[in-house]
Amino acid sequence: MTAVRSTTVIPARAAWSAVVRAGESLTLTDLHGNQAVDFLVYDAHDTSVRYSAPDTLQAQGSIFLTTGSVLMSGEHTPLMTVTEDTCGRHDTLGGACSKESNTLRYGHHTWSQHACVDNFLAEGARHGLGKRDLVSNINWYMNVPVEKDGTLGIVDGLSAPGLKVTLRAETDVLVLVSNCPQINNPCNGFDPTEVEATISEAGR
């Protein structure tokens, strides 16, 4: 049986980060259901090598991620591979909420609300990362359908309590997580909740 190296419950609205070594697996579990988990990944030894949405989508030929999807860097090298997915719908287009986007979409009264960009900046700073190091991110469990005319929607998620996604590190990686604090659209069911992050040793 594969040994668990660490398990962390990430509080609602909080940030988290970790280095996942090559061959190890990271499992993100939606403990209460319908909770978006914003996610960035970097090469742990050279953070200029980082997740690229265009390279990832081009490589797999789909805008949605699921089992078998490979998260590619801007150098078109693999960073992590989805090895298990019990939800089946994850977003690559919606991006991270910010104070600016909240104001634009939902009104100036939302300016003071915490957002994923704040989480990424605060957590990234612990690893020497700044605003220029933020790129388009993955939103695990977030349901962003694309209409025939190209319109994006943010609608109720398809997740449920206990559903999970597991990723194997293809090289040593640094992952940043923002357990999304958004309360103005259905991505979190208007009620952000905690999620669990488990790192398992190589061999899973």
Question: Would you state the pLDDT for residue 94?
Answer: 77
| Mean per-residue pLDDT over the chain, rounded | 87
- The 10s digit of each residue's pLDDT in 12-40 is 989 999 999 999 999 999 999 888 899 99
Question: Would you state the pLDDT for residue 158?
Answer: 79
Q: pLDDT tens for the chain, 204 residues: list them.
A: 679 999 999 999 899 999 999 999 999 999 998 888 999 999 999 999 999 999 999 998 988 899 999 999 999 999 999 999 999 889 898 787 655 654 556 456 655 556 788 999 999 999 999 999 999 999 999 887 787 787 776 777 778 899 999 999 999 999 999 997 675 565 567 678 899 999 999 864
Q: What is the 3-class SS of the chain, one letter each residue?
A: CCCEEEEEEECCCCEEEEEECCCCEEEEEECCCCCCEEEEEEECCEEEEEECHHHHHHHHCCCCCCCCCEEEECCCCEEEEEEEECCCCCECCCCCCCHHHHHHHHCHHHCCCCCHHHHHHHHHHCCCCCHHHCCCCEEECCECCECCCCCECCECCCCCCCEEEEEEECCCEEEEEEECCCCCCHHHCCCCCCEEEEEECCCC
